[in-house]
Structure 1
């Protein structure tokens, strides 16, 4: 569902996607365009799911095992995606077709590391910016694994992470934000807390932690909403109320799957579909800092 939301945003929700030619999609298919322009929230949904799934997959593993599992899960598919884009761009050049992406050997090599942004390079696959966010989340989890995972340590970690996000926003520290991911802290923490409920059962402390994480996230969601203001579109600024509602429904769906009546759902096609997806898709790249620039 998250992947379809993001794909819908790129194909139907942006003001005039270049592949539709001169057609104004909001005039041709106004209903599809209206609902799809909020599809970038699928990225946020991915991050909530990551909090749940990564906490589940790293439990009982050593830092080395967790690192190997993440590298083997992400890098082969990511390398294929990057190299396919390179092949497509080269084919476009040979055919004298316009190519939106400009590549050179240095850019390709930097992109294969999955961290081209910090290296001062452009993304070959523009939608893979989320992987750098995910990688920093994995790093935090790996550090936690060094001391060993337990219920108490994970609860303390979630509380400390939320506090770190608040402090990063308060002091406007780019360095601190690189580590605490202020814009997405509440999403990851919400996913982790839902997994703790799934593994250890529900209690008042976990519900309070989930509530605080969600209040935090819906507050900083304003920064992501501001990233998706389309000056060339008559709709202009997305509605924060709609965004908050959609994102809350996404959290509710995961809660139903993790600790609710959908927890026992084991349809084979759902398992296959979920196992074949990685969070490569994304929407417009967020700015580097979690606060508005002057």
Structure 2
């Protein structure tokens, strides 16, 4: 299997934007969510909470970036090359970080947090709720949406529609998203078609299309539509937060934040040549995935344990620094080597399987 080197899909400014998104989510969990409705953190941060409240939008920014990166990854790749590349990108880091979270929560989480071996086994699939078990860490819900998105892109590559009818597919996707979110409200459609966050993924894909293929009126109109629909779908989380926490970002500020997120992605692409890739930018981008997977539940336990000793502020910022270092170490020492080995092994296995399938299919053809 001929897969492109990672460097060819590497824009340093996007790595910095990933780090911003990850840190926004960390800020949200440590300085707002942990002490808000759940009460997991023993002490809150009332001075920081009004600002930390915006941090959950880091997930939306992740989806924007993901749309761009996945469209880039799919460009000039076959469906099997794309599927292998995405599995290799996600699963090794997920498996390691999920196992670390399980071990720490199982050993030290009681009475605030708990974990079981059944829950661990279900989480190995990345779709734990399908087996009636909660995610090992609540942040994993967004990984499921990423996987659904990858599945649709794989199908589009398999059918050839990604290469020939990409803009038409996005038009249909945006129409389904708007119809479901503004009129129908189907939970099944929300999961299957990612209708709440679909406009963010779609906007990222469209930014890549404009970047790779030049400006076109249809793509620019679709990007404008994706942005407008995303402004509306942001209200879904807004209403949930009002019900859950009794507070949420105002609608006007959500629109402003959405403008900033879209502008940040476009700016990162336009300024790609101003920042050359380096070991530092590669590391900062690489550590964001382990950081996202590890920081929440483990962070709550660390902050609670450290607060009586050094105070809540030092505990929170110290925990953040610790998570950055551990995430970098995992990325460098574990995740990257595992990805290299898995890419080779899985690539060969898929190639062998496809070759055998073709031989069997050819043999099943009737003789002339």
Coarse TM-score class (shorter-chain normalised): 0.7 to 0.9
Cα distance in 2, alignment partners of residues 24 and 112 from structure 1: 33
TM-score (norm 1): 0.84
- Cα 1:112/1:264, change in 2 over 3 Å: same
Say whether residues 1:214 and 2:227 are aligned partners: yes
Cα distance in 2, alignment partners of residues 241 and 185 from structure 1: 21
Residue 206 of structure 1 deviates from its aligned partner by 1.5
Residue 59 of structure 1 deviates from its aligned partner by 1.3
Tell me if structure 1 keeps the 8 A contact 2:93–2:290: no
Cα distance in 2, alignment partners of residues 141 and 150 from structure 1: 7
- Cα 1:198/1:134, change in 2 over 3 Å: same
1:241-283 residue CA offsets vs partner (Å, 9 max, x unmatched): 212211220110110122x244553242223312333387389
- Cα 1:99/1:202, change in 2 over 3 Å: farther
1:98-124 residue CA offsets vs partner (Å, 9 max, x unmatched): 343332222111111000122221111
The corresponding residue for 2:31 is: 12
Residue 172 of structure 1 deviates from its aligned partner by 3.5
- Cα 1:130/1:231, change in 2 over 3 Å: closer
Q: Secondary structure at the match of 1:81?
A: helix
The corresponding residue for 1:179 is: 192
- Cα 1:130/1:280, change in 2 over 3 Å: farther
The corresponding residue for 1:128 is: 140
- Cα 1:99/1:148, change in 2 over 3 Å: farther
Say whether residues 1:76 and 2:92 are aligned partners: yes
Say whether residues 1:98 and 2:118 are aligned partners: no
The corresponding residue for 1:292 is: none
Say whether residues 1:242 and 2:242 are aligned partners: no
Question: What is the alpha-carbon root mean square deviation over aligned residues?
Answer: 2.4
For this pair of structures, how many residues does the alignment match?
Answer: 272
Stretches of structure 2 that go unaligned for 5 or more consecutive residues are: 1-19, 297-368
Tell me if structure 2 keeps the 8 A contact 1:15–1:25: no
Tell me if structure 2 keeps the 8 A contact 1:107–1:121: yes
After TM superposition, the structure 1 = structure 2 runs for residues 188-227 of structure 1, keeping only pairs within 5 Å, are: 188-227=201-240
Stretches of structure 1 that go unaligned for 5 or more consecutive residues are: 285-294
- Cα 1:189/1:231, change in 2 over 3 Å: closer
Tell me if structure 2 keeps the 8 A contact 1:52–1:193: yes
1:153-204 residue CA offsets vs partner (Å, 9 max, x unmatched): 1111111111121333333333333321110111011000000011011222
The corresponding residue for 1:291 is: none
Residue 20 of structure 1 deviates from its aligned partner by 5.0
Tell me if structure 1 keeps the 8 A contact 2:53–2:248: no
1:106-146 residue CA offsets vs partner (Å, 9 max, x unmatched): 21111110001222211112211111111100011000001
Bigger Rg over Cα? 2
Tell me if structure 1 keeps the 8 A contact 2:65–2:204: yes
Cα distance in 1, alignment partners of residues 68 and 61 from structure 2: 11
TM-score (norm 2): 0.68
- Cα 1:274/1:231, change in 2 over 3 Å: closer
Say whether residues 1:265 and 2:275 are aligned partners: yes
Tell me if structure 1 keeps the 8 A contact 2:32–2:44: no
Cα distance in 1, alignment partners of residues 95 and 56 from structure 2: 24
